[in-house]
Amino acid sequence: MTSSFGLGLRTQHYNDFLNARQPVDWLEVISDNFMVNGGKPLAILDRIRADYPMTMHGVSMSIGSVNGLDEDYLKRLKALEQRIEPMWVSDHLCWGGVHGRKLHDLMPLPFTQEALDVVARNIHHAQDVLKRPLVVENVSSYVEFKDSEMTEWEFLSEICNATGCQLLLDINNIYVSAFNHGFSAFEFIDGVPKDHICQFHLAGHQNNGDHLIDTHDHPVCAGVWDLYEYALTRYGNVPTMIERDDNVPPLGELLDELDVARKIAASALKTEGAA
CATH number, residue 238:
3.20.20.150
21 Cβ partners below 8 Å, 6+ apart?
Answer: 51
Instruction: Tell me the C-alpha distance between 59 and 136, whole Å.
Output: 11
**Domain tally for the chain?**
1
Instruction: Tell me the C-alpha distance between 216 and 244, whole Å.
Output: 5
Look at residue 52 in the predicted model and tell me its pLDDT. Answer: 97
Written as one letter, the residue type at 174 is I
Look at residue 141 in the predicted model and tell me its pLDDT. Answer: 87
Q: What is the mean pLDDT of each run of 10 residues along the chain (275 residues)?
A: 84 97 98 91 95 96 93 97 97 73 68 97 98 96 88 97 98 96 97 96 92 91 98 96 95 98 95 57
The pTM for the full model equals 0.93
63, 211, 230, 258 from 11: Cα distances, Å: 27, 30, 32, 18
Look at residue 92 in the predicted model and tell me its pLDDT. Answer: 95
Look at residue 1 in the predicted model and tell me its pLDDT. Answer: 42
Full domain range(s) for residue 120: 5-274
Look at residue 149 in the predicted model and tell me its pLDDT. Answer: 95
Look at residue 126 in the predicted model and tell me its pLDDT. Answer: 98
Instruction: Tell me the C-alpha distance between 28 and 111, whole Å.
Output: 28
